[in-house]
């Protein structure tokens, strides 16, 4: 979840720019996990309906719209709406990408290929947090 690493660095600037409290900032940072739960709940049915590949495209489009909304946010409520939309996209992607990878990969390397992105996402977040 690259979004976690980016938002943790941007938190100080968001707090100063939008004049929000520490509690609001904490909610803003942590709420994406709850929102992504909603996206992952919907991703299974969507992938059965339109297919895995188009669900990945839909996840990217939803996340892109969420990123645009967050980028153009002028107040806390607008930022939370963007965070909600981005969270839905993250949930879609986190559920469907490993499924799609598992369906395409040969049986001998399936476990490695499906766990590979998760290992590097967590490693990236860890390395980034060491520099804060």
pLDDT, tens digit (0-9, with 9 covering 90-100), for 29-38: 889 889 999 9
| DSSP single-letter state for residue 19 | T
Whole-Å CA distances, 29 to 2, 82, 106, 112, 122: 13, 12, 37, 30, 17
Which of 4-8, 21-25, 84-88 is predicted with the least confidence, judged by mean pLDDT? 4-8
Distance from C-alpha of 115 to C-alpha of 16, rounded to nearest angstrom: 38
Which of 61-70, 71-80, 91-100, 112-121 is predicted with the least confidence, judged by mean pLDDT? 112-121
| DSSP single-letter state for residue 72 | T
Whole-Å CA distances, 108 to 96, 103, 114: 21, 12, 12
Q: Please name which of 97, 85, 92, 71 lies closest in space to residue 31, comparing C-alpha atoms.
A: 85
* pLDDT, mean over the chain: 88
Distance from C-alpha of 43 to C-alpha of 52, rounded to nearest angstrom: 9
Summarised one tens digit per residue, pLDDT across range 86-129 is 999 999 998 998 899 999 999 999 888 888 888 888 888 788 77
Summarised one tens digit per residue, pLDDT across range 36-57 is 999 999 999 999 999 999 999 9
**Dihedral sign of CA atoms 70, 60, 58, 105 in order:** negative
pLDDT average, residue stretch 71-91: 93
pLDDT at 5: 56
pLDDT at 120: 85
Distance from C-alpha of 42 to C-alpha of 40, rounded to nearest angstrom: 5
């Amino acid at each position: 979840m690259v979004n976690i690493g980016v938002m943790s660095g941007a938190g100080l600037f968001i707090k100063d720019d939008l004049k929000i409290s520490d509690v609001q900032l904490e909610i803003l940072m942590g709420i994406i996990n709850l929102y992504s739960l909603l996206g992952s709940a919907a991703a299974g049915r969507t992938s059965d309906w339109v297919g895995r590949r188009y669900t990945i495209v839909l996840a990217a489009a939803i996340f892109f719209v969420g990123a645009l909304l967050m980028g153009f946010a002028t107040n806390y409520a607008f930022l939370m709406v963007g965070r909600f939309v981005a969270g839905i996209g993250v949930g879609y992607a986190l559920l469907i990408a490993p499924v799609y990878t598992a369906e395409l990969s040969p049986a001998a390397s399936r476990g490695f290929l499906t766990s590979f992105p998760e290992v590097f996402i967590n490693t990236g977040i860890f390395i980034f947090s060491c520099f804060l």
